[in-house]
Amino acid sequence: MSQLTINRNTLILHFTVLIWGFTGVLGELITVSALHLVWYRVLIAAVSLVIYYFFKRKSLLVSKGQLMQYLGVGLIVGLHWVLFFHAIKVSTVSVTLVTLSSVTLFTAILEPIINRKRISIADVVVGLVIIFGIYLIFKFEFKYFWGIVFGLSCAFCASIFSILNSRMVKKGSPTTITLYEMIGAWIGVSVVMLFTGDFDEQMILSQSDLLYLLLLGVVCTAIAYVLGVAVMRELSAFTVALTTNMEPVYGIILALLIFGQKEAMSTGFYFGAVIVLTAVFIYPYLKTKIKI
């Protein structure tokens, strides 16, 4: 592969990660509840992917076992997004995105357990640094206690479905997996809404909410995912890991530009955020260089 192709794919990946970072901003702009927001998002994303498959003339058939796996993981994805957007609703985009970065910590703990592997010393070191950074965020931004709790819970769910996805993608198409996960998430959220009575007038969308949800479901979910998968197959794992770690950085910058003073945090928060993000950034390097 030529250097020009690598540079082009890297640029596309950065653009994709920028779009992912924009989801937090959209979560703040959309006025409906987190539950309704996710219901619409996964429905729009699923429909978009079905249309994509129709034009590509690809088969959607999977085995019964795979279907159950994909739908099951989709339930976790749905819970992850509900927690993510609820964290934004009760705190800020910046707080949510930084706590979401702790997915590295949870993965370091959970992956060896789920895959029955030995825990890496590099994982432990990075995990301890992230814990310290999150402690500082808790200390200086305690008024956002529930936002931090929901953000950490969101990261925990993200870690689980990422580990499971990494196993499933070895035997199935990433795009097909994503489609059925969106369907699984939609079914899960629909069942919750049915029991909680959330199929009500509060689901009615304003024109601005409809526009933002279309951006979220089509551009930030379906299109971004297809773009991301396409270029990730052409780039090294290190480049992908390092670039995707830019998501909270892009998201925080976008939130500051759009919401201004509302997103301004204390000096202690930014100190903790820098510690967390630095640990997340050096993680791919440590995994590459340290084999223990």
Residues 286 and 122: beta-carbon distance below 8 Å: yes
- In which residue are the tokens 């779009």 written? 19
Q: Which amino acid is at 43?
A: L
Q: What percentage of the chain exceeds 90 in pLDDT?
A: 48
Stretch among 26-35, 86-95, 126-135, 142-151 having the lowest mean pLDDT: 126-135
**pLDDT at residue 80 in the model:** 95
Report pLDDT digits (tens) over 207-244.
Answer: 999 999 999 999 998 888 778 777 776 777 667 767 88
**pLDDT at residue 240 in the model:** 74
Residue 23 has pLDDT above 90, yes or no: yes
Mean pLDDT over each residue of the chain, to the nearest integer: 88
**pLDDT at residue 291 in the model:** 57
Residues 86 and 150: beta-carbon distance below 8 Å: yes
Q: What percentage of the chain exceeds 70 in pLDDT?
A: 96
Residues 13 and 240: beta-carbon distance below 8 Å: yes
**pLDDT at residue 283 in the model:** 80
Report pLDDT digits (tens) over 33-64.
Answer: 999 999 999 999 999 999 988 888 888 889 99
Distance CA 249, CA 278 (A): 11
Q: Given pLDDT bands bounded at 50, 70 and 90, which one contains residue 172?
A: confident
Report pLDDT digits (tens) over 184-207.
Answer: 999 999 999 999 999 998 899 999
**pLDDT at residue 260 in the model:** 85
Report pLDDT digits (tens) over 86-108.
Answer: 999 999 999 999 999 888 888 88
Distance CA 18, CA 22 (A): 6
